[in-house]
Amino acid sequence: MKSRILNIVGARPNFMKMAPLMRQFATRRDRFDARLVHTGQHYDAQMSDVFFDELGLPKPDIHLGVGSGTHAVQTGKIMVEFEKVVETEKPDLVIVVGDVNSTMACSIVAAKAWVPVAHVEAGLRSFDRRMPEEINRVVTDALSSYLFLTEEDARENLRREGVSDDKVFFVGNVMIDTLLHLLPKAQKLDTLQRFGLRKGEFALVTLHRPSNVDQREPFAGILGALETIQREIDVLFPIHPRSVARLKEFGLYDRVTGWPRLKLTEPLGYLDFMNLMSQSKLVLTDSGGLQEETTVLGIPCLTLRENTERPITIHEGTNLLLGTDPKRIETEAKKILTGHAKKGRVPKFWDGKAAERIVEILAKKL
């Protein structure tokens, strides 16, 4: 018998994680009826449709179309709409990835309907419950029947929370599956030429966390560090329109756009961004996924947060956790620019075969 599986995506990071799973399920159509459900948490073309095209994801079988809203409104809308889907589709399993609102909302609905949940990227913890993602991770893991780990440290986190070892499987990192699958294609693009950059001679910046961009003081501090860094090296900053609005609100926009070696640009597609990241001198970010991708690429990463749910990128990879102190950011960037970057290695099972391991486990267990 085929097992019917509903695979949930909702926000941009989910797409990269789900793409390799959908490819693997497509090779096992004799065993799985795998359907893609898009909650619509990210709903505009730049944040969603373009990623489906670039990643080779099939068009969603079901689109909930929930759109934006507060955390409570968005989570509630997803639960209401996904409950109807579960009643109609009667799945044998619901697969969720990562830590966005769609992940938690669909897990709650499935668990209450007695449908097993599989969480891909389980057990990661920042130990900061002020972060919405941390709440989503903890709740999802508590409800899941299958917990697939990117790193062994996550197993200890789950044990402390009372999760039985027989539910836990160390499989590797599906985000890296996508990176390795698409990197050759990305590196054929002319992205550097379009931005007037040269390989190894620019820094790449991403900032999106509310704690960094929604308050003037931390945002201005980070920008002050970028002002110093751009005196030494070109800096490309793909910036979300929401953050541009904050720059203008805080009276910082004219100042930033006047720096000669810093370039603001609109958010980029996955392939263009991957091309840039793989050829940069360093990355400054508050993203979770970029900490992992830079580790595999061997690119120095400065994480502008007080904590990280991905400690393996620090212990084994190229990542440094700096917080938002401008002087510390400037100091560590200068070390990299003068040839004293941290060296790292690729963690176990970050080899492009994580999705293959997951599907093989499910074929045996379901």
Active site residues: 208
| Region(s) of the chain under CATH 3.40.50.2000 | 3-173+350-365, 183-337
Rounded distance, CA 73 to CA 75, Å? 6
Confidence of residue 44 (pLDDT cuts 50, 70, 90): low
> Which CATH entry fits the domain spanning 3-173+350-365: 2.40.440.10, 3.40.50.1820, 3.40.50.2000, 3.30.1540.20?
3.40.50.2000
Q: Left (φ > 0), alpha (ψ -120 to 50) or beta: where does 238 sit? A: beta
- The type of residue at 132 is P
* SS3 at position 149: strand
Domain range 183-337, CATH class:
alpha beta
Average pLDDT of the segment spanning 12-26:
95
Q: What is the pLDDT of residue 29?
A: 97
What backbone torsions phi and psi does residue 191 show, to the nearest 5 degrees? -60, -45
Kindly report, residue by residue over 231-285, the tens digit of the pLDDT.
999 999 999 888 999 999 999 999 999 999 999 999 999 999 999 999 999 999 9
Kindly report, residue by residue over 285-338, the tens digit of the pLDDT.
999 999 999 999 999 999 999 999 999 999 999 999 999 999 999 999 999 999
Other Cβ atoms closer than 10 A to 338:
9
Q: What integer best gives the mean pLDDT of the chain?
A: 95
| Cβ neighbours of residue 360 closer than 8 Å, sequence gap 6 or more | none
Q: What is the pLDDT of residue 297?
A: 98
Kindly report, residue by residue over 138-194, the tens digit of the pLDDT.
999 999 999 999 999 999 999 999 999 999 999 999 999 999 999 999 999 999 999
pTM for the predicted model, two decimal places: 0.94
